[in-house]
Amino acid sequence: MATKLNPRHVHVDTAELKEAHPGFYRDVQDTKLWPLWEEMNQFANRTEPGPGMAPALWRYSDVRPLVMRSGDLISAEEAERRVLALMNPGLKPNMAVTPTIYAGYQLVMPGEVAPSHRHSPAAFRFILEGGGAYTAVNGERTYMYPGDFVVTPSRTWHDHGNETDEPMIWLDGLDWPLTNKLGLTYFEAWPGFQHPETKPPGDSSVRYGMGVVPLGHEHRAAYTPVVNYTYERTREALAAMSRSSDPDPCHGVKTRYTNPLTGDDAIPTLSAFIQLLPAGFHGAPCRQTDACVYSVVEGSGRTEIGDIVLEWEPKDTFAVPIWARHRHIAADEDAVLFSFSDRGLQEKLGLWREQRPHP
């Protein structure tokens, strides 16, 4: 994307200055200082948000064979987590899909357990393939199926196990690049292999996800107490909403995964959404300051990002950069897109912006 030059570009020949005043530059460096005018153009030349990353598409038909091959190379236990991470070409060499978010395809083969650990980055899983493997969060198991959104808050113990006879593959999202930037990335291995079961499976969904809350529960955590937002329920919500309300011209029918006790994002640093684009939907172009990663759940279509056209079908993943004007187009059946970004973080900081077509 072309960047407009700022009219107050800093017109300094820094090479000439440096040559004429080597002593000054040396003394400044020796004093643990650095002249801002050397760097100012990097800052002042950018009049619009971004870019920070590139538009990108990961076709599941390309990804799946590699994920399965990784299953022959290394076990879940050896790898700790057997994952192929999405490398956004615009963010290399960082293992990141947006400036603040890491994502990867994780494989757990039948009979395997990925051992219990916890870490400062928060994580979610969005299930792509298989059915009935579990993630245990602080000893509460949830059995996972395609389209489920499973939350592993910061510093919660978690292990993944697959007692079924099919491989399970899901998309992981972590706020790891952000915790790296904050100098707050750390990790602990559970002393045993698996955390003991502490609650019956699904306990958090009935306790906190039904619109009733146990008396005496005071919610202070920054994260949702619900472990699994099942596709069964979110799909029902999308279907009902699309029957009774007009789609937004840019986003179709779009909902956000929230903490049912506070209405905030389920994970403060990883806002997550799911939207339905009705058959034949031709979205209006819009752009936002949050880079967004999409995972296609149902249907097929395309997303136009400037001159770039990304054609997608179920289980494909694609990334829309910061402030990139884009539109979604659904083919001749309803499409469902899961997505995630750092929008909630930007909103809290007063940085989030959206530009929509004028009505």
Nearest alpha-carbon partner for 177 in 291, 318, 317, 258: 291
Map residue 58 onto helix, strand or coil. strand
Q: What 3 state SS string does 252-271 have?
A: EEEEECECCCCCCECCCCCE
The verdict on 316 binding ligand GTQ (CB under 6 A) reads no
Which listed residue (123, 168, 274, 305) binds ligand GTQ by CB under 6 A? 123
Q: Closer to ligand GTQ at the Cβ: 76 or 292?
A: 76
Contacting ligand GTQ within 179-238 (CB under 6 A): none
The verdict on 106 binding ligand GTQ (CB under 6 A) reads yes
The verdict on 83 binding ligand GTQ (CB under 6 A) reads yes
Give the per-residue contact string, 25-64, with ligand GTQ (x = CB under 6 A; - = no). ----------------------------------------
Q: What is the rounded CA–CA span in Å between residue 75 and residue 47?
A: 48
Q: Closer to ligand GTQ at the Cβ: 158 or 327?
A: 158
Closest residue to bound ligand GTQ by CB: 172
Q: Is 331:281 a contact under the CB 8 Å cutoff?
A: no
Q: Is 179:136 a contact under the CB 8 Å cutoff?
A: no
End-to-end CA separation in angstroms for the chain: 26
Nearest alpha-carbon partner for 127 in 76, 169, 71, 85: 169
Q: Closer to ligand GTQ at the Cβ: 34 or 193?
A: 193
The verdict on 104 binding ligand GTQ (CB under 6 A) reads yes
| Residues 262, 264, 270, 276, Cα dihedral to 10° | 110
The verdict on 161 binding ligand GTQ (CB under 6 A) reads no
Q: Closer to ligand GTQ at the Cβ: 172 or 334?
A: 172
The verdict on 81 binding ligand GTQ (CB under 6 A) reads yes
Query: Which residues would be at the binding site for ligand GTQ (CB under 6 A)?
Result: 81, 83, 104, 106, 119, 123, 158, 172, 174
